[in-house]
């Protein structure tokens, strides 16, 4: 079990690392224009984050977290993105009941936009201070015009620094493992993972030594990535132990009177596995749509794990918002016998 949790945690961490690098590259190489593009209006942020969240899997949620910690999304936009996220359950739902699954995704997408707006209004009223952009996430003037350069890439390949050698070697090994099917997901998710790794490799080859050390090594590696891995590892290990020794799935099946409340509470767990119980129960006609909606609305798969390593306060607040929205909306539908 420990080895499985370790591998799963490592893959999630690598994926998060690669996407954080890509977001950092784009933000710096455009002199921060990425910020103005997404911040062109809050509704654009709500639409973007909800769309990313509604895409199957956790990749969209990871991207939303990357945008948020880079100061490119508001607090409400991230809440909306997590509302729209169903995690890996989305793939199971598409396989078991595709039409109802697509309807659910569309509903979550719409709710994500609406609840993002409501969340920002509430956050303003109760004086919630969102996570601020990283202090080191600035554009250095000496490399603002050309933070990434193919010409510099050839020079970098002829003269490796220790930091570049470690990062390139690690990413290259992982990329080969993904392409050979040894590590990471299979199918189109594996190819997407490989593409993200390849783009990360290209960026590391063409970036200046100052940028590589200051932005990637001293900032992302030294301050964030190891925390992402530890939070992911221990969160997944806790869930695995609970499922093995407490029989969490059996407990849910034997207490159907509290199924809606349990769906909301279990949704707080940053893991996909426990929520599949509700998917299977819905597929077999044992629970109404309202319970599935609550489960999908509150839970976000692994999407919250990277944010936990960056800000526990914001993670808890976002989960509380989603929990409240899930109980209110799901409870209303449940009373209407939907």
Mean pLDDT across the chain, nearest whole number?
Answer: 77
Cα dihedral 293, 68, 50, 320, rounded to 10, equals 20
Using pLDDT thresholds of 50, 70 and 90, give the confidence band for residue 136. very low
CB-based burial label for 6 (10 Å; 0-12, 13-18, 19+) = middle
**Residues shown for the chain:** 338
Structure tokens at 108: 């979550």
Using pLDDT thresholds of 50, 70 and 90, give the confidence band for residue 279. confident
Section 305-321 average pLDDT = 83
Section 265-271 average pLDDT = 78
Chain Cα centroid distance, residue 296: 15
Lowest mean pLDDT among 118-132, 156-170, 187-201, 230-244: 230-244
- Distances, alpha carbon 130 to alpha carbons 80, 85, 106, 248, in Å: 14, 20, 27, 34
At 156 the pLDDT is: 63
Q: How far apart are CA 3 and CA 23, in angstroms?
A: 30
At 117 the pLDDT is: 94
pTM over 0.95: no
CB-based burial label for 140 (10 Å; 0-12, 13-18, 19+) = middle
pLDDT tens for 36-49 read: 666 667 888 898 88
Section 23-28 average pLDDT = 65
At 28 the pLDDT is: 62
| SS3 of the chain: helix, strand, coil, percent, to 5 | 75, 0, 20
At 272 the pLDDT is: 63
At 330 the pLDDT is: 81
Crossing angle for the helix pair 75-84 and 59-69, to the nearest 10 degrees? 170
Q: Are 193 and 201 in contact (CB under 8 A)?
A: no
At 148 the pLDDT is: 55
Using pLDDT thresholds of 50, 70 and 90, give the confidence band for residue 152. low
Lowest mean pLDDT among 25-29, 171-175, 258-262, 304-308: 25-29
Domain map (residue ranges) of the chain: 2-139+150-335
pLDDT tens for 60-109 read: 788 788 888 877 788 999 999 999 988 777 777 776 788 888 999 999 99
Using pLDDT thresholds of 50, 70 and 90, give the confidence band for residue 134. very low
> How much of the chain, in percent, has pLDDT values that exceed 70?
78
pLDDT of residue 145 exceeding 80 = no
Q: How far apart are CA 220 and CA 91, in angstroms?
A: 31
């Amino acid at each position: 079990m420990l080895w499985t949790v370790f591998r799963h945690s490592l893959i999630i961490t690598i994926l998060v690392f690669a996407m954080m690098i890509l977001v950092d590259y784009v933000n710096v190489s455009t002199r921060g224009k990425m910020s103005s593009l997404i911040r062109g209006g809050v509704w654009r942020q709500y639409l973007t984050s909800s769309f990313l969240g509604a895409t199957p899997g956790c990749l969209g949620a990871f991207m939303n977290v990357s945008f948020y910690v880079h100061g490119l999304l508001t607090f409400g936009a991230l809440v909306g993105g997590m509302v729209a996220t169903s995690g890996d359950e989305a793939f199971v739902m598409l396989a078991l009941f595709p039409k109802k699954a697509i309807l659910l995704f569309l509903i979550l997408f719409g709710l994500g936009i609406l609840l993002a707006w409501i969340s920002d209004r509430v956050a303003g009223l109760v004086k919630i201070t969102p996570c601020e952009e990283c202090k080191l996430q600035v554009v250095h003037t000496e490399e603002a015009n050309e933070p990434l350069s193919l010409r510099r890439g050839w020079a970098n390949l002829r003269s490796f620094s220790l930091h570049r050698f470690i990062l390139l070697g690690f990413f290259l090994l992982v990329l080969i493992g993904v392409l050979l099917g040894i590590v990471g997901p299979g199918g189109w998710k594996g190819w997407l993972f490989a593409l993200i790794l390849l783009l990360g490799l290209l960026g590391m080859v063409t970036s200046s030594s100052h940028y590589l050390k200051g932005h990637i090594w001293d900032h992302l590696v030294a301050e964030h990535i190891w925390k992402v891995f530890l939070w992911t590892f221990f969160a997944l290990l806790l869930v695995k132990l609970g499922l093995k020794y407490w029989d969490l799935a059996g407990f849910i099946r034997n207490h159907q009177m509290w199924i809606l409340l349990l769906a909301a509470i279990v949704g707080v767990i940053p893991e996909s596995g426990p929520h599949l119980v509700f998917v299977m129960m819905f597929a077999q006609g044992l629970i109404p749509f309202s319970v599935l909606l609550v489960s999908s609305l509150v839970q976000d798969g692994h999407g919250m794990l990277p944010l936990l390593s960056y800000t526990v306060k914001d993670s808890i607040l976002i989960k509380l918002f989603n929990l409240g929205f899930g109980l209110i909306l799901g409870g209303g539908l449940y009373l209407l016998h939907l």
